[in-house]
Structure 1
Amino acid sequence: MKNRLLLLLFGFTFSSIIAQDVPKNWFLMDRSEGYDGISADKAYADILKDAKGETVVVAIIDSGIDIQHEDLKDNIWINLDEIPDNGKDDDGNGYIDDVYGWNFIGGPDGKNVGPDTYEVTRIFGKYDYKYKNADPSKLSGDDKKEYALYLKAKEEVEKARDKASSQIAELDKISERINSSLDMLSEKLGDNSLTIANVEKVEDTSPEISVAKQVALEYLSKDGVNTMSDIKSAIQTDIDSDKKRYQDQLDYAYNTDFDTRALIVKDNYADATQSNYGNNDVEGPDPLHGTHVAGIVGAVADNGIGMNGVAKNVKLMSVRTVPDGDERDKDVANAIRYAVDNGASIINMSFGKAYSWNKGVVNDAVKYAAKHDVLMVHAAGNSAKNTDVEDNFPNDLIKEKGFFLCPKKEAKNWIEVGALNFEKGEKAVARFSNYGQDEVDLFSPGVKIYSTMPNDEYAFLQGTSMASPVVAGVAAVIRSYFPTLTAEQVKEAIMESVVPIDGMVDVPGKKDTKQDFKELSVTGGEVNLYNAILAAAKMKGKKKIDKKKIGA
């Protein structure tokens, strides 16, 4: 137990100690400035200096957006055909008072889904009644496939619940041991005051004191932490937060009996064609994730506050679809169609899951977007897995491979994005990022990305969720300055203009394993706005410019 405690503590403090300071705008910088950014600042200062672009609408299908944020509000999409708060569907699109977008995980009474289950839990629950006592020897055809899926989901859910329970118990033990170690440190300090300098002077090298010193030094560096009582309180707050995360998994994410959908949304969930449900609360109870994503795409540039988004001539449409749990395929499909019907030319999707309830309905929506020339940008996922061999949904596969004359079909209006680190060389790929030479198209900055947070705040976050909106922003710039390019042409310009990354890199999720970066994605490179603009400039547009007003 002591060794486990030491590993946990040293792992957590060590990550804080080695965390590097990076410029807040590093992902916009050029390589000549020392960081492998996307050369956005260079592009605006050089080739776009005197150019004027058209306004582009980017839909953010996510957890919601703080539309009143100081650095976002001027770039929020407004449905000009809708009269606010009059309780009517003025524009006849099927949604009442959808002034800033729509919320597909809300109820008619204004309530909203917060926590929800994971898709694997829903699939386990879906088939449990059918296969719980089934005799596998008597199954045939599709039932065998369903039964195999059921067993896989059942095992995953039960393991996850066991792990969550054990982690809660473990955290209680860790709390006790930390407090005991800190008491021992207090005795060593004696009459000396609790300061960083005095803690560093303690020479005892026992495991308990070493742990206590690491913890004390970590927390004393934080504002408002001055006494041993402050340290213990701060540690307990962190531990309680972790305990809540695991308890939420038991109560919600992996709980087959939890059905917030029926209680709040009250749609006919079994009817995948139904679209007239939800409400117009585009922020929801926790818009943190969506707000951060939105800022990366299009926070107001050069206004002296916050940060600059990748795209300038942009309006951000909030389509709330992602709860604290897995998004549902029905909602994703409806969100895509809503975005398309209301003028979005780019859709960012920073979400994903390992199972799909109804992939077909999402595929149809992706094809609908393609038909209307809408580009879709999707985060590859944070499971550190090879998606060439492990499922990740949604994806661009819209038709499975059939017999000899029936090859698989992939959406041509789809870009799948992996995440890059701010570090170079072997650590260039974010340690959490999914990858795949066939399934991931390119990589983009996704570690220590500074962007907007609810309530006029800002923070660094990481994930392929941050890498995807960087690419969506690049696409928005191209569609702004080259409006005659189709979605497929925009994708082509982005893909063919990546900056290659040479050499061997650490493979996410595989300890002590390295691979040529070129083998981790289709392009083997990083998105670059400057290069993409040059590539777009050489193309002959295939699209007629639509003059129809689509929003402000």
Structure 2
Amino acid sequence: MKHNVRRIFAGLAIALSVYNINVYGQDAVQDSSQAPPKNWFILDHANDDVEGVSVEKAYNTILKNKKSKTVTVAVIDSGVDIDHEDLQGKIWINEDEIAGNGIDDDNNGYIDDRYGWNFIGGKEGNVEEDTYELTRIYNDLKAKYGDKEAKKVKKKNKEEYEYWLKVKKNFEADYEKAQQQYQFYSTFHKNLMRYNNLLQLYLDVDEVSMEDLRSVNTSDSIILAARNMVGIILQNVGDEADFEQLDEELAEAEEHFANQVNFAFNTEFNPRTIVGDDYNDPYEKGYGNSDVKGHDPSHGTHVSGIIAANRDNDLGIKGIAENVKIMVVRAVPDGDERDKDVANAIIYAVDNGAQIINMSFGKSYSPQKEAVDKAVKYAESKGVLLVHAAGNSSKDLDKSNNFPTRKFKDSKELATNWLEIGASAWDDDASFVGSFSNYGKESVDIFAPGVDIYSTTPDNTYSSFNGTSMAAPATTGVAALLMSYYPELSVDQIKDIITKSAVHFDELKVMKPGDESMVDFKSLSIYGGLLNAYEAVKLAESMTSK
């Protein structure tokens, strides 16, 4: 049983409100009281009673006995385990490059890029953790303005000074919040098993139940603290709570916030020297290394499996696109990706033949957005589709940012080769939209499955993740499916088919992420619908039939 750690500890946070701790971070968590089938995201509403994207239905009906062409999909991410059992035969190979010979055989500017490229590595290794963009901007502006008074700022710098004050306020507030969350989770992790074991001994039971806790009658402060902590768990999960698994999940949460405190918000931390590039030049190329796995390719491997896991090997899962190759482009560390790396990753993917680029990452600040915009326009000029995750902050993107975006800086122009994707769950009820998902009537195109998605993880393992990071590759997979079976369609047509074939839910009221007020599902995105492969294939078939 997978516990919803933060739902459980929300109750504890109220009980421990003396700490004034907000335990809600920005990573994706969805309250799921009943787990769906592991492959629910490729299933069909009518046949399987879950709101998947009807991939199996498309293959078993319209696409049966049809021929397809190979489509290359670039996954810009944390890296991919290219040796995973369920991705064998699905990884793009640069046939013109000889791996490991130290020579740029194909003269594309990248040495030994046999499976893709890593823009956050160098000769001495790879970037693992990195700071948030907010931290980097804070550092740059602090060096310029520090504690300077407004009256001493030159008139030409007034606008930047006002921006500095805003950045300073946001950084200090977010850093303090991260410290509180780290303190909360580390304290709870330290005590959970100790308190549970203590109560087992005190009550002389193998497993503690709510009935056992009600029988506790003591003035001992330690026993009372243990009763209160374990009681919160049992109240939210029930007597079947798996404390060992909760301990593991707590360890993950503690590590997450420890990384925020020690790296993401650490103004003294700068791993960029590993890369060895001229960071002040956003248009520099050729830096990095050929290690496409990196230190922890969990996220990128999960994304890749959703798109392309082998459908014929009876292992693990079935990906959405049958005839696809994953080009691995590593640009996302544990922290915020950098604009320079994102721009170069897009250009590399386009130059080396990617037809679709999946971008399951995002951040709130983009100081070198011009470089990214230039890369997006380049992809647009070459007919390459960009699919971007809307983000996991429960925010309205019409009013906030999740970079990169289709909006070009200082322009009303929008990229026409862009899809922005929110995350949905399996039941068409009030919890249909992922509680973490960003949304936007003018910013998010459609929703796709992103709750409890089971896919590939490193070392031949499989895990369930939540996030718009999972919804984006579901959409990428369907786009690749369409390109594979209907290669005559243009990118504009593919995008049009995906958005127009999205399934609509008349009068469906859902909890709006962030405040849980009830709103129409259709009000949360531009096209008001859910990705559906079967309907998309039907539309593609009608558009291409002679």
Q: TM (normalized to structure 1)?
A: 0.87
In structure 2, do the counterparts of structure 1 residues 302 and 150 end up closer, same or farther at CA, with 3 Å as the change threshold?
A: same
Alpha-carbon distance in structure 2 between the residues aligned to 1:114 and 1:423:
37
How far 1:7 sits from its partner (Å)? 5.2
Cα distance in 2 between the residues matched to 1:362 and 1:278: 18
**Are the structure 2 counterparts of residues 204 and 494 from structure 1 closer, same or farther at C-alpha, using a change threshold of 3 Å?**
same
1:443 CA displacement = 0.4
State the SS of the aligned residue for 2:167. helix
The letter of the residue matching 2:38 is K
Q: Which amino acid aligns with 2:400?
A: E
Rounded to whole Å, the distance in 1 between the matches of 2:419 and 2:389 is 9
The aligned counterpart of 1:194 is 206
487, 500, 508: which one pairs with 2:513? 508
The percentage of counterpart residues that share the same residue type is: 45
1:376 maps to: 386
1:499-522 deviation digits (Å, cap 9, x = unpaired): 0123221100014x1211111111
2:263 to 234, 252, 263: 252
Whole-Å separation in 2 of the counterparts to 1:3 and 1:112: 40
Aligned residue in 2 for 1:524: 528
Bigger shift: residues 525-534 or 181-190: 181-190
| CA 1:200–1:74: 2 relative to 1, 3 Å | farther
Q: Which residue of 1 aligns with 2:307?
A: 297
Q: Is the 8 A contact 1:204 1:210 kept in 2?
A: no
1:25-424 aligned within 5 A = 25-32=39-46, 33-109=48-124, 111-137=125-151, 139=153, 143-171=157-185, 173-174=187-188, 178=192, 181-182=195-196, 185-186=199-200, 189-190=203-204, 193-195=205-207, 203-204=214-215, 209=227, 211-212=229-230, 215=233, 239-262=250-273, 264-401=274-411, 408-424=412-428
CA contact (8 A) 2:263 2:269 kept: yes
What residue ranges of structure 1 are gaps of 5+ in the alignment?
Answer: 226-230, 402-407, 542-552
The structure-2 alpha-carbon separation of the partners of 1:387 and 1:8, relative to structure 1 and needing over 3 Å to count, comes to farther
State the AA in 2 paired with 1:410.
L
Gap change, CA 1:8 and 1:446, over 3 Å in 2? farther
Q: Match for 1:144: what amino acid?
A: K
**What letter matches 2:505 in structure 1?**
I
C-alpha offsets along residues 468-510 of structure 1, whole Å, 9 cap, x if unaligned?
Answer: 0000000001111111211111101111111012322110001
8 Å CA contact 1:200, 1:213 repeated in 2: no
Aligned length: 518
Q: 1:136 to 1:88 in 2, by over 3 A?
A: same
Deviation at 1:168, TM superposition (A): 3.8
User: Offset at 1:30?
Assistant: 1.0
| Pair 1:439-2:443 in alignment | yes
For 1:2 and 1:304, the matched residues in 2 are separated by 40
For residues 521 and 168 of structure 1, do their structure 2 counterparts lie closer, same or farther at Cα, with a shift above 3 Å needed?
closer
Structure 2 CA distance for partners of 1:238 and 1:444, relative to 1, 3 Å: closer
Are 2:395 and 2:437, in contact at CA under 8 Å, matched by a contact in 1?
yes
The change in CA–CA distance for 1:235 and 1:138 in structure 2 (over 3 A counts) is: same
**TM-superposition CA deviations, 1:77-121 (whole Å, max 9, x none):** 000011121110000000001000000000023x00000000111
Residues 373 and 140 (structure 1), Cα distance of their counterparts in 2 relative to 1, 3 Å cut:
farther
| SS of the residue 1:409 aligns to | coil
Aligned partners of 2:388 and 2:134: how far apart in 1? 21
User: Using the alignment, how far apart are the partners of 1:2 and 1:29 within structure 2?
Assistant: 33
Question: Separation in 2 of the partners of 1:96 and 1:244?
Answer: 35
Paired position in structure 2 for 1:544: none
Which deviates more, 155-164 or 207-216?
Answer: 207-216
How far residue 241 of structure 1 moved from its aligned partner, in angstroms, is 4.1
Cα–Cα, structure 1 residues 35 and 205, in superposed 2: closer, same or farther, change >3 Å? Answer: farther
Q: Provide the C-alpha distance between the structure 2 equivalents of 1:27 and 1:129, rounded to a whole number of angstroms.
A: 48
Q: State how far apart, in whole Å, the 2-side matches of 1:166 and 1:59 are.
A: 38
Q: Distance in 1 between matches of 2:66 and 2:361?
A: 34
Partners of 2:212 and 2:512 in 1: CA distance: 40
8 Å CA contact 2:306–2:477 kept in 1: the answer is yes
Contact 1:175–1:236 (Cα < 8 Å) also in 2: yes
Provide the rounded CA distance (Å) in 1 between the counterparts of 2:533 and 2:467.
20
Closer/same/farther in 2, CA of residues 189 and 522 from structure 1, 3 Å limit: same
Contact 2:78 2:294 in 1 (8 A): yes
Preserved CA contact (<8 Å) 1:79 1:99: yes
1:47-66: CA deviations, max 9, x gaps? 00010110000000000000
Secondary structure at the aligned position of 1:120 is classed as helix
Retained in 2: the 8 A contact 1:328–1:357? no
Distance 1:204 1:365, change over 3 A: same
Could you tell me how far 1:288 is from its partner in structure 2?
A: 0.2
1:179 to 1:420, Cα distance in 2 relative to 1, 3 A: closer
Structure 1 partner of 2:220: none
Cα pair distance change 1:399/1:291, threshold 3 Å: same
Contact kept? 2:38, 2:453, Cα under 8 Å:
yes
* Matched residue, 1:405: none
Q: Which amino acid is the alignment partner of residue 480 of structure 1?
A: S
How far did 1:421 drift? 1.2
Structure 2: segments with no counterpart, 5+ residues: 1-8, 18-22, 218-223
SS at match of 1:538: helix
The Cα of 1:169 is off from its aligned counterpart by: 3.7
Q: Is the 8 A contact 2:74 2:349 kept in 1?
A: yes
1-structure distance, mates of 2:98, 2:398: 47
Say whether the 8 Å CA contact 2:12–2:232 is kept in structure 1.
no
Equivalent-residue separation in structure 1 for 2:285 and 2:239 (angstroms): 53
Q: Give 1:307 deviation, angstroms.
A: 0.5
Q: Distance in 1 between matches of 2:93 and 2:54?
A: 30
> Does structure 1 residue 478 correspond to structure 2 residue 482?
yes
The two structures, once aligned, show a CA RMSD in angstroms of 2.9
